[in-house]
Every structure is written in C-alpha cells, then in structure tokens.
C-alpha cells in the first residue's frame, strides 16, 4: 500500500504492518522516520540490524527474525538498510509467511517507484511504501512551521526561510536546527518563545561557497591528499564543519538527481540545462557523474548526514567526526578510480 506523509507517521506511531518500506534518495528523512519507529517501540525494545547483502545471502532470515520471539517477551523490531532489488526474495518471504509479530522497517535509498521491490510493497495490504524525496519549498515551510510550533517556537516566515537556507533545504537538518534553537531559547509548548535573529546569529556559522568548494571538490574527485590540505586549512581558521558538510550534501544530492535523470534516458546536455549547471562547471560535473553511481552517492550521503547528526549531539567529538566521514568517502572514491 502507498502511504502519504501523515499515514506513514501514524503507522510508525502505531505499527501494525509487517513491512514499512522507505524508498528514495532523502536518506535524512528515512533515518528520521526509522528513529520515530524506534521511539515508538521504546528504549527497552531489541533492534535487529540487517542490510541488503545479508538478505541476499540468506533470503529466509528476514521472515525468521520477524516471526521470532524474545526469550523474555520483550519487544523487537528489525531495521534493514541498503535494500535493493537483491532483497525482493527476502521481502516476499516476509510478506508471505504465516506470522510476523515483529515490525520490519526497510530503507531502500536507490529504489525507484517502478522497481520490483517497491511494487511488491505497494501491492500487499500488510506493507506500506513511502517515497522519501525532498519536499517542495512550500511543503517544507509548512512542515517546519508545524515542527517549530510543537517545539514551542514562534517563528517569523522570513526567519524560517533563513533556517531552511542554512540547512540546504533538507528537512532533517532544519529540524535539528529548530530543536537546537528551542533549547537555546528555553522554549517549550507550555512556555513558547519568539525566535529572534540574534539567536540565529549566535548559533549559525556561515561559510562561503568558494571557501568550502575546494574541499568538496577534493571529496568528489577522490583526492585524499588535496582533502587533507583543505581540512588543515579550515581547521586552523577555526571554521565549524557544519557548513561544509551541508555544502557537500547539496552537491551529492544534486549529483543523485542528475544521475537518476541520466539513468532514465535523458541526454547529458538536457540534464545540465534542466539542473542549471553553470557552463564552466559542466565538464567537472560530467566527470563526477561518470565516477559516481547511485549506490555510491546514497552511501556517501548516509556518511555525511550521520556525521552531521553526531556533531549536533551533546558531548561529541566535533570536527574529528566530520573529517573522518569525508576522508572515508574520498579514500573509497580514490580506490574506484
């Protein structure tokens, strides 16, 4: 069955389906929805983590895990990441099994709406499929406006757009920003606070496109040596890693969208024009599109977003986490050259 935004959140708050499939390139949204199910299940619930490779090696394992009970009767749920067409057999076995008491949430970042995996979920009454794509600007403003109200923040639309722009238009990051601002202003639904420009100035660290561009290029080109130099330069200048992580995310998302268009049969020139690639950047963008496949882009986005979330958590290792994430991506890309 196909779910809209309201239905998927309701399903995560009251899980009754055997399978919840989150597909599409917005890994940040998918991870936030997975965390919502984890919150519903409770901190004491056991979570079984699998991936697409594990399901391919043992297609029966998913159905077995979904049907198995804890020795002590505790709640259990299964989270599967990196799911693709290789997992169709395992998902079919789950949906056709006699029983499955533990909910399964599967994240398929590269699966298209026309894939066998998504069609399998859409056609089964005990499964929900939700497409994780970046919302439109208007939808994002409405969604984040509601989030702000739930946090106890009164936000002027102009300031909300500033939060969205600083977050690269990504709902998961913008939500974290609003949570951070609510904490900073001691806001709560019982004692709402007005979001003021000074609070944004205090908590935001802006970084020019050119300032971080060389670092992003080094990651995308798979050049660990150049990346090391850029990281050292930014570290010495005391720049926060958040802005350049976000710039890297925007570039990866842009490449993912263009890669999908190319795979759909569009010509390179048409893709460049539709995505408004500056003519001086067309050659570099073409090289990046040749070097990065959909799966690689999805994995890189997952690494970068995980680093951002870790940095924004209390008691974190800060810049070290961000540097480790981009160094891992650059080294992996270098090996593929």
| Tens digits of residue pLDDT in 73-95 | 578 899 999 888 888 999 998 88
pLDDT over 70 percentage in the chain: 90
Place of tokens 């270098």: 334
How far apart are the C-alpha atoms of 18 and 94, rounded to whole Å? 8
SS3 content of the chain, % helix, strand, coil (to 5): 60, 10, 30
Architecture of domain 209-336: Up-down Bundle (1.20)
| Count of C-beta atoms within a 10 Å radius of residue 104 | 26
Is the pLDDT reported for residue 299 higher than 50?
yes
Rg (CA), the chain: 21
Mean pLDDT for 281-310 is: 85
Q: Are the beta carbons of 124 and 95 closer than 8 angstroms? A: yes
Give 211 or 122, the one with higher predicted confidence. Answer: 122
Q: Is 211 in contact with 132 (CB distance < 8 Å)?
A: no
Is the separation of the CB atoms in 284 and 217 below 8 Å? yes
pLDDT value at 300 more than 60:
yes
Fold of 5-131: Rossmann fold (3.40.50)
Token code pair at residue 297: 């882009």
Distances (CA, A) of 241 to 182, 234, 297, 316: 22, 8, 20, 13
Cα–Cα dist 289/300, whole Å = 14
pLDDT 10s digits, 2-46:
988 888 888 898 888 889 999 988 877 888 888 889 888 887 788
- The pLDDT value recorded for residue 199 is 81
The fold of 137-203 is: Helicase, Ruva Protein; domain 3 (1.10.8)
pTM equals 0.53
Cβ burial, residue 258 (10 Å; 0-12/13-18/19+):
buried
229 or 134: which leads in pLDDT: 229
Tell me the CB-side half-sphere exposure of residue 184, using CA atoms within 13 A. 17
Condensed to tens digits (0 to 9), the pLDDT of residues 104-143 reads 999 998 888 888 999 988 998 888 899 988 777 788 888 8
Q: Among the listed ranges 37-46, 146-155, 161-170, 194-203, which one has the minimum average pLDDT value?
A: 161-170
The percentage of residues in the chain with a pLDDT greater than 90, rounded to a whole number, is 12
Cβ-contact 178, 143 below 8 angstroms: no
Tell me 281's DSSP state.
G
Per-domain residue ranges of the chain: 5-131, 137-203, 209-336
Q: Model confidence at 161, in pLDDT bands (50, 70, 90)?
A: confident
Residues 274, 276, 281, 284, CA torsion sign: negative
């Amino acid at each position: 069955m196909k779910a809209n935004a309201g239905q998927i959140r309701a399903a995560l708050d009251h899980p009754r389906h055997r399978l919840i499939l989150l597909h599409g390139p917005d890994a940040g949204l998918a991870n936030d929805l997975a965390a919502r199910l984890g919150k519903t299940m409770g901190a004491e619930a056991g979570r079984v983590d699998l991936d697409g490779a594990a399901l391919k090696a043992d297609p029966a394992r998913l159905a077995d895990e979904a049907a198995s009970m804890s020795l002590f009767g505790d709640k259990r749920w299964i989270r599967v990441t990196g799911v693709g067409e290789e997992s169709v057999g395992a998902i079919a076995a789950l949906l056709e099994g006699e029983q499955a008491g533990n909910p399964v949430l599967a994240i398929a970042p590269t699966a298209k709406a026309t894939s066998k995996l998504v069609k399998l979920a859409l056609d089964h009454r005990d499964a929900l499929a939700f497409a994780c794509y970046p919302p439109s600007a208007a939808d994002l403003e409405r969604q984040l406006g509601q989030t702000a109200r739930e946090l106890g923040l009164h936000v002027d639309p102009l300031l909300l757009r500033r939060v969205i722009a600083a977050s690269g238009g990504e709902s998961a990051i913008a939500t974290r920003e609003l949570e951070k601002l609510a904490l900073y202003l001691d806001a709560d639904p019982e004692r709402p606070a007005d979001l003021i420009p000074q609070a944004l100035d205090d908590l935001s660290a802006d970084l020019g496109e050119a300032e971080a561009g060389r670092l992003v290029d080094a990651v995308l080109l798979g050049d660990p040596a150049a990346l090391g130099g850029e990281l050292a330069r930014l570290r010495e200048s005391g720049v926060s890693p958040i802005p350049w992580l976000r710039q890297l995310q925007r570039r990866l998302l842009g490449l993912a969208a263009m890669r999908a268009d190319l795979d759909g049969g569009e010509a390179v020139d048409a893709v460049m024009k539709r995505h408004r690639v500056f003519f001086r950047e067309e050659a570099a963008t073409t090289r990046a599109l040749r070097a990065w496949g959909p799966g690689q882009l999805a994995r890189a986005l997952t690494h970068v977003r995980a680093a951002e979330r870790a940095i924004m958590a209390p008691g974190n290792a800060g810049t070290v986490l961000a540097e480790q994430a981009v160094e891992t991506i650059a080294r992996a890309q270098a090996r593929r050259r």
